[in-house]
Structure 1
Amino acid sequence: MTTEAPEAEAAIKLAPGHFRVIALLMVSAFTVILNETTMTIALPTIMTDLGITETTGQWLTTAFMLTMAVVIPTTGYLINRLGTRNAYILAMAVFTAGTVLGALAPTFGVLVGARVVQAMGTGIMMPLLMTTIMTIVPPQIRGKIMGNITLVIALAPATGPTMSGIVVDLAGWRAVFAVVAPVALLVLVAGLVWIRDVAEKELQPIDPLSVPLSLLAFGGVVWGLSQLGESGDEASLVSPYVPLSVGVVMLGVFVWRQIARQRTDSALLDLRTFRSRNFRIAVGIMAIAMIAMFGAMILLPLVLQDAMGYSPTLAGLVVLPGGLAMGLLGPVVGRLYDKVGPRPLMLPGLAGVTLAVALLATINVGTPPWLVVTAQLVLMVGLSFTFTPLFSSAMGDLEPHLYSHGSATINTVQQVAGAAGTALFVALMTIRSTTMTDAGASDAEALTGGARLSFTVGAIIVATAILLASRIKRVEGGAAH
C-alpha cells in the first residue's frame, strides 16, 4: 500500500499546462459573461443618447439572450467537431469583433447587431470551459476546480452592473465596450499561443434539420418568455405567445429528432445525458436557481434606480458585495464538495436562497440600503453553495463522450430559465404595479409593490428546489453513490 500512495497522490495533480489552459479559459469566460448584464445599468443612458424607447432598448438584452439560446445547443457538436483550440479561437474572435462593433456603433440597429455577435462568441465559451475541465481534471479534485466556475457564472454577471455603472457615469455607454475590447483581444492572442486540443475530434457531419429546429425551438421559447413581461405594451407588434407557442412545439420536434439521431451517434444535442438521475435532478434545480438569480438581477437595479432614486454607480455597488462573496466562495465550496459531497452544501445553500428572496419581498421605498445589501449577500452565498455541487454532480455522472453535450444542455437550461425568471418577475411586477397605480399609489410605491409580489412568488418557487436537492447523490470516479 505504501508504494501506491505516491502514485495516487501524483494522479490527482493537475499538469501545469492544463492548469494554464483552464486559467485562460476562466479569464475568457469571465470576460464574455460579464457583458450579459452590462446593458441593464447602461440602458437609460443609451435610450437618451440614441433616442429610443424602453421597449426598444430592451432588445439589447433580449437579442443577447436569444442568440445565446440558439447557439448553445449546437456547442456540443461544435466542440467535438472543431476541437478545443479552434472552438476557443472562434469564440473569442467573434466576441472581440462584436465588442469593437459595439463601441463604434453609430445607430441602435448596429448596436443590437453587435450584441448578437458578442452573444455568438459567449455561447460557445461556457460549455467549452466545463467540457475542458471534465476532460482533463481527475475526479478526485474535480470539485475544487469546478468551484472556480462560480467565479464566472456568478461574479461576472454580478459585477457587470457595477462595472457598467461606474464606466457609464465616468465616460458614457460606449466606454463599456471599449474597456472590454482590449481584454478580449489579449486573451485571444494568449489562446493562440497556449490553447491545444485536449480530446480527439469527432468528424461526424452536422444534421441539417436539427439546426433550424434548434433555432425555432430555443429561439422561440426565449423570445416569447423575454417579451412576456411586456405583453401589455401596445408597441409590441407580435404577441409573445406566438413565438412561445412555436418554440414549445418545435422543442418537441427537436427532442424527437435528437432521440432518432442518437441511434447513430449523430445528434446535434445528445439527450442521453438525461438517463443519469443526478443529471436530471441537477438540471431541475439549476432551472429554479437561475429563475431566482436572473429575476433578482433584473428587478433590483430597476427598483433601486427608478423607485428609490439610486444613481447607476450606487445601484451597481449595492449588488457588488453579494457577487464578490459568491465568486470568492466558489473554490472553497469546491474543496468542501470533494470532502462531503453535494447534499450537505446544497440543502443549506438553497435554504439561504429562499430566505434571501423572502427578505427581498419586504422591499419598499424606505428600505435602508444595508437591508438590500444583506439580502443580496445571502442570496449569492446560497447560490454559491448550490452551483458548484450541481455542476460537479451532474457532469461527473456522465460518460466522457457526453461531457460536451451535458455542458451544452446545462447552459441551454440556464438561458431558458433566465428568460423565464425575467419574464415571471417582470410580468408579476407589471401586473401588481398597474393595479396599485390605478388605485392611486405613486409610481415608486407601485414599483416596489410589484417587486414585493415578484419576490414572494420567487421564494415559493425556490423552496421547491430544497426537496429536489435531498435526492442528489455523491459522485465518485464517474458514478453516483
Structure 2
Amino acid sequence: MAFVLMLGAFIGLFSETALNMALTNIMVDFSINEAQAQWLTTGYLLTLGILVPVSSLIIKWYTTKQLVVVALVLSIIGTILGALAPSFSLLITARIIQALGTGILLPLMMNVILVIFPIQKRGMVMGLMGLVITTAPAIGPTIAGLIVDLLDWTYIFWLSLVFYSVLLVFGTRQIDNVSTITKPKISVISILLSTIGFGGLIYSLSTIAEKSLNSPQVLIPLLIGIISLISFIVLQLNLKTPMINLRVFKFSMFSLGTAQLFLGMVLILANAILLPLYLKGALFYSAAIAGLILLPGSALNAILSPVIGRAFDKIGAKKLVPAGFILIVIGSLLFVTTLSADVAIWKIIIANMFYFAGVSMIIMPAQTNGLNQLPRTMYTDGAAVMNTLQQIAGAAGTAIAITLMIQGQKYFMIDNPSAVAQEILAAGTKYAFYFITAVAVVGFISALFIKREKQ
C-alpha cells in the first residue's frame, strides 16, 4: 500500500522538474519565450500550493481508495492531454490537471504512512518517503534529458502515463481504507482565503524572475496573498473545526522541522533549475549528457535515503540534520569556487554529490522528527502544513535562484563588457550559489536546536 502511494507521488514529483530539460525544445515548438515557458513548472507548483492545504479536509470526507483512484485518473487525463497538446495553452492546462492528481497523492501518502506504521519503524519508512520527495525532482532532469535527445519531449508524458496506468489497474487493489471519515463542516471562506493566499504568494514569487520586485505584477499578488493568509490563520484559530488545525505549530519540534524542510526544498529546487541551464547554456552539453552529469548526485541521494531512515531510528535527527546542512555548504562552496565557462566536469559531479548527500540527511529526519511530536489526531493537519510549505519552498527556490542568476549576469556584464555569453551565464549561476550557501548556513544554525521528541 505504501509502495503504491510512493510510486504515484514519485511520478508526480518527477513531472515537477522533468520539463526543465525540454524548455528550449518547447519554446521552439510553440514559438514562446522563456518567461512563458517557465510557467510549465511554476504553474504546476502554483496548483499544488493551492490544492494541498485543502487536502486535509478532503481526506476527512472520502475514503483512501476513492482519493487514490481520483488522483490517478486526474494524473492520467493530464498526462494524455500534455502529450497530445496542440497549443501551449492546452499544455499549461494539462500541467494543472496533472498537479491536481499529485496534490491529492502527496498529503495522502504521508498521512497513510503515519497511520499504518508504528513509530519505532517510522524512520525507515519515512526514509523511503524522503527518497520519493527528494529524488523525484532531482532525477527528473536526468531522465528527461535522455528522453529529449533520444526521442521527443512528449515522451516524458508517455512514460508517466505507463506508470499511472499500471498503478490504476493493479495498484489500487492494494489500497485499504485507513482514514477516519468524519465529514467535518466545510468552511467555504477558509477554502477561498487559502486559495487566494497561497496562490497569490506563489504567483508573486514565480513572477519575480521576469519582473522587478517593485513591479505591480509582483507586489499586488504578494500583498493580496499576505492579507489573505493572515485572515486565513486568524479564521482557523477561531473555528471549532478548522480546515487545517494550525495549532500544530504549538509543538516546537514540529515548527522547527517544518522550517528545515522548507529550507531543504528551497535548496533542491534551486539546484534543479540552475544546473541544467548552466550545463546546457554555458558548457554546451546536450540534454542527455547534462542529465547524466547530474545522475551521480541523484543516485547517491537515492542510495542514502533508506540508510538515513534506519539511522534515524537509532540516533534521531539531532546528529543527522546538522551534518546534512554542512555537506550542502561544502557542495555549494565547491560550486562557487569552480563554476566557469571551462570547468572540468568532474568538479561539478563531486560538488553535486556532496550537495545531494546532504539533502538525504535533511528532508526525512527533519520531517519525521517534527511529525513524531504530534498526536495521532493531528497527523493529517501536520502533513498538509508540511506539504503546502514544500510547494511554496519550491516556487521560492526556483524564482529566487533565477532572479539572482539574472542579477549576477548583469553585474558581470558591467565589469566585463566584452565577455561572451557562456561566461556571463556561468558568472550568473555562481552568483546564485552564494544565496544557496547562505540558506544552507541558516539551516545548519537551526539544526543546533533539534531535540529528539518521543510521542
Q: Which amino acid aligns with 1:296?
A: N
Secondary structure of the residue aligned to 1:80 is coil
What residue number does 1:167 align with?
Answer: 147
Whole-Å separation in 2 of the counterparts to 1:450 and 1:223: 23
Whole-Å separation in 2 of the counterparts to 1:435 and 1:336: 45
What residue number does 1:9 align with?
Answer: none
Match of 1:467 among 442, 445, 448: 445
CA deviation string 1:209-261 (max 9, x = no partner): 0111111110111111011121159xx99622221221111111111111112
What residue number does 2:20 align with?
Answer: 40
Match of 2:307 among 332, 335, 340: 332
User: Contact (CA 8 Å) 2:30, 2:87: kept in 1 or not?
Assistant: yes
Task: Note if 1:69 corresponds to 2:44.
Answer: no
What residue number does 1:407 align with?
Answer: 383
433-442 or 112-121: which moved more? 433-442
Task: Note if 1:268 corresponds to 2:247.
Answer: no
What residue number does 2:348 align with?
Answer: 372
Match of 2:70 among 90, 111, 116: 90
Secondary structure of the residue aligned to 2:217 is coil
Task: Note if 1:306 corresponds to 2:306.
Answer: no
Q: Aligned-pair RMSD on alpha carbons?
A: 1.5
User: Contact (CA 8 Å) 1:66, 1:219: kept in 2 or not?
Assistant: yes
Q: Which amino acid aligns with 2:440?
A: V
- Structure 1 residues 161, 105: closer, same or farther in 2, change over 3 A? same
What residue number does 1:456 align with?
Answer: 434
73-82 or 113-122: which moved more? 73-82
Q: Which amino acid aligns with 2:72?
A: M
Match of 2:234 among 238, 256, 268: 256
Whole-Å separation in 1 of the counterparts to 2:110 and 2:200: 26
Q: CA deviation at 1:464?
A: 1.4
Secondary structure of the residue aligned to 2:61 is helix
What residue number does 2:362 align with?
Answer: 386
Secondary structure of the residue aligned to 1:239 is helix
- Structure 1 residues 238, 311: closer, same or farther in 2, change over 3 A? farther
User: Contact (CA 8 Å) 2:17, 2:141: kept in 1 or not?
Assistant: yes
194-203 or 36-45: which moved more? 194-203
Task: Note if 1:425 corresponds to 2:405.
Answer: no
Q: CA deviation at 1:199?
A: 2.7
Secondary structure of the residue aligned to 2:343 is coil
Q: Which amino acid aligns with 1:411?
A: N
What residue number does 2:252 align with?
Answer: 277
What residue number does 2:316 align with?
Answer: 341
Runs (4+) of structure 1 exceeding 4 A deviation are none
Match of 2:165 among 185, 192, 199: 185
CA deviation string 1:310-362 (max 9, x = no partner): 11111111111111111221111111111111111111111101111121112
Match of 2:135 among 155, 168, 171: 155
TM-score, normalization by structure 2: 0.96
Match of 1:134 among 114, 133, 141: 114
The count of aligned residue pairs is: 452
User: Contact (CA 8 Å) 2:59, 2:179: kept in 1 or not?
Assistant: no
Match of 2:373 among 393, 397, 403: 397
Q: Which amino acid aligns with 1:137?
A: F
Q: CA deviation at 1:461?
A: 2.1
User: Contact (CA 8 Å) 2:74, 2:98: kept in 1 or not?
Assistant: yes
User: Contact (CA 8 Å) 1:330, 1:384: kept in 2 or not?
Assistant: yes
User: Contact (CA 8 Å) 2:60, 2:184: kept in 1 or not?
Assistant: no
User: Contact (CA 8 Å) 2:124, 2:309: kept in 1 or not?
Assistant: yes
Whole-Å separation in 2 of the counterparts to 1:156 and 1:259: 35
Q: CA deviation at 1:454?
A: 1.1
User: Contact (CA 8 Å) 1:354, 1:463: kept in 2 or not?
Assistant: yes
Same amino acid, percent of matched pairs: 34
User: Contact (CA 8 Å) 1:150, 1:326: kept in 2 or not?
Assistant: no
Q: Which amino acid aligns with 2:381?
A: H
Whole-Å separation in 2 of the counterparts to 1:192 and 1:456: 45
User: Contact (CA 8 Å) 2:52, 2:103: kept in 1 or not?
Assistant: yes
CA deviation string 1:272-300 (max 9, x = no partner): 11011100111111122222111111111
What residue number does 2:325 align with?
Answer: 350
Q: CA deviation at 1:450?
A: 1.4
What residue number does 1:447 align with?
Answer: 425
Secondary structure of the residue aligned to 1:163 is helix
What residue number does 1:246 align with?
Answer: 224
User: Contact (CA 8 Å) 1:210, 1:254: kept in 2 or not?
Assistant: yes
What residue number does 1:434 align with?
Answer: 410
What residue number does 1:56 align with?
Answer: 36
User: Contact (CA 8 Å) 1:228, 1:241: kept in 2 or not?
Assistant: no
Whole-Å separation in 1 of the counterparts to 2:113 and 2:170: 19
User: Contact (CA 8 Å) 2:266, 2:397: kept in 1 or not?
Assistant: yes
209-218 or 354-363: which moved more? 354-363
Task: Note if 1:224 corresponds to 2:200.
Answer: no
Tell me, which stretches of 5 or more residues in structure 2 are unaligned? none
